[in-house]
Amino acid sequence: MNTAPQEIAYYLERLFPISRSITGNGNRETLKILNEIIPLNISEVASGTRVYDWEVPKEWNIRSAWIKNNMGEKIIDLVDSNLHIVNYSIPIHKKMSLTDLSSHIHFFKSQPDVIPYRTSYYQENWGFCISYNSYKKKFADDTIYEVFIDSDLKPGSLTLADFLINGSSSKEYLFSTYFCHPSMANDNLSGVLLSAFLARELGQMKLKNSYRFIFIPETIGAIAYCALNESSMKKIIGGYVLSCVAGKGMYGYKQTFFENHLIDRVVHQTFKESGIDYITYPFIPQGSDERQYSSPGFRIPIGSVHKDKYHEYKEYHTSADNLNFVNGEAILKTLEIYLSIINKLEENSIVLSLNPNCEPQLGKRGLYPSVGRRTMNINKSNENVEADSENIELDTILWLLFYGDGNSSILDICEKHQLHFNNTLKIAKKLEQKGLLKLSFNC
């Protein structure tokens, strides 16, 4: 692997402060930086464009926003955190009492030290977000406040990007991530950087499958991308949404709507082999863009590997989802998990015996243990390590030959008999070299 945690951390630091939304210059700046990692194909979709039942909204950009008290002190300032502004706030400059202002101020009483994240994409409105403790300290009933938001909401465009990696077969998988959240590290700067570095790793490999990486604003971006690339998207076998992948809690996996698709099975096998405890979440048509890709017109099975899934951690959609919560090491660990998943998508093959009539003679091919001391229950002492290894290999050889009727894959065999995928693959290739098996990549 060519990716180091220090390189990921460098891009975390650069990208975190950028003010992003579903449209705007912050998104373009973000993609320009990601372009240093992989050469993205970036496109713009004009405001007002119909994309199925939706319409691309006006473009929003913000330059400044603050509230001053009657002494001229800025008690909320966008400079301090771009979560202070309700995303997509319209411009305003006026003085008002707390009575008039209070409905436009948002905080969490239950989490008094954090700034919440709020949006108003499709209804023109404005507002500010602040921690509850700061609100109690800085606001009073008998004060007149000056409110200022310098923003634009006007016809522009929606920015999308993709990166296509062509394999030797016609099979194509999807990896989608969203970049519309400002200054939240797990949701979803972690997914954005994971996607970019994963794509870079795959771009340096010789692959059987093709892989389509999509970088979009959530919901409207996925809908627009599907509308503009409908024929290509309907050919996709399956894929993953990369979201919330580097928190401090447990790993989790949100299943596809099929629940037991190849997309699901390679994830479960990977976690099992790695010894990582994880939570399995059922598919529901809420969450992220899996509900767009899996909608009736596309029915692409989409899963999601998480490390602190959205809605499942207290820092979610708050200022506490910051660079103290996510680091390069955590993103790299999830990157390694996805590379293992992709390895299974690449290497899972149908097994066909070329000597199907009874068991072939293994000894003359050097495939049988040199000393016949096979036992059913091996003592795991040092003197039996070699015997244990030989017996595991022999078990694997016999299972591969037994299932060699052209109806089972390497993953099928591993799942049924608690075998390790890469070890089984290695042994299957040895049997292929010996002329006993044929491996067909048509799973």
In CATH, what number is assigned to the domain containing residue 73? Answer: 3.50.30.90
Reported as a single tens digit per residue, the pLDDT across 232-257 is 999 999 999 999 999 999 999 999 99
Higher pLDDT, 371 or 400: 400
Q: Is the pLDDT assigned to residue 33 strictly greater than 60?
A: yes
Last residue within a domain, chosen from 313, 347, 381: 347
State mean pLDDT over 261-282.
97
Reported as a single tens digit per residue, the pLDDT across 52-91 is 999 999 999 999 999 999 999 999 999 999 999 999 999 9
Residue 384: give its domain's CATH number: 1.10.10.10
DSSP type of residue 398: H
Of 21-35, 198-212, 370-384, give the lowest mean pLDDT range. 370-384
* pLDDT on residue 21: 98
Last residue within a domain, chosen from 154, 186, 211: 154
For residue 359, the enclosing domain spans 350-440
Question: Residue 389: pLDDT band by 50, 70, 90 thresholds?
Answer: confident
| Domain identity same for 23 and 75 | no
Distance CA 29, CA 250 (A): 32
Residue 16 CB contacts under 8 Å (≥ 6 apart), including other chains: 183, 185, 189, 322, 323
Tokens of 359: 């068991």
* pLDDT on residue 385: 45
Q: Which residues pair with 353 in a beta bridge?
A: 437
| Domain identity same for 230 and 127 | no
| Domain identity same for 93 and 119 | yes
| Domain identity same for 361 and 341 | no
State mean pLDDT over 272-279.
96
Higher pLDDT, 432 or 372: 432
* pLDDT on residue 391: 81
* pLDDT on residue 441: 85
Question: Residue 368: pLDDT band by 50, 70, 90 thresholds?
Answer: confident
Q: Is the pLDDT assigned to residue 311 strictly greater than 60?
A: yes
| Domain identity same for 248 and 123 | no
| Domain identity same for 50 and 99 | no
Reported as a single tens digit per residue, the pLDDT across 81-137 is 999 999 999 999 999 999 999 999 999 999 999 999 999 999 999 999 999 999 999
| Domain identity same for 181 and 275 | yes
For strand 302-307 and strand 157-165, is the pairing parallel, antiparallel, or unpaired? unpaired
What ranges make up the beta strands (E) of 260-403? 278-281, 302-307, 350-353
| Domain identity same for 177 and 282 | yes
| Domain identity same for 70 and 194 | no
* pLDDT on residue 11: 98
Percent of the chain with pLDDT over 70: 95
Reported as a single tens digit per residue, the pLDDT across 259-271 is 999 999 999 999 9
* DSSP reduced 3-state for 429: helix
Report the side by side order of strands in the sheet with 157-165. Answer: 41-46, 157-165, 210-216, 172-178, 238-241, 302-307, 251-254, 278-281
Residue 193: give its domain's CATH number: 3.40.630.10
| Domain identity same for 185 and 273 | yes
0.75 exceeded by the pTM?
yes
- What's the domain count of the chain? 3
Last residue within a domain, chosen from 93, 125, 154: 154
* DSSP reduced 3-state for 131: coil
* pLDDT on residue 420: 96
Average per-residue pLDDT for the chain: 94
| Domain identity same for 193 and 238 | yes
* pLDDT on residue 371: 65
* pLDDT on residue 372: 59
* pLDDT on residue 409: 97
User: Which residue, among 60, 67, 73, 77, has the nearest Cα to 102 in the 3D structure?
Assistant: 67
Q: Which residues pair with 60 in a beta bridge?
A: 153
Tell me which H or E stretch contains 195.
Answer: helix 191-203
| Domain identity same for 131 and 190 | no
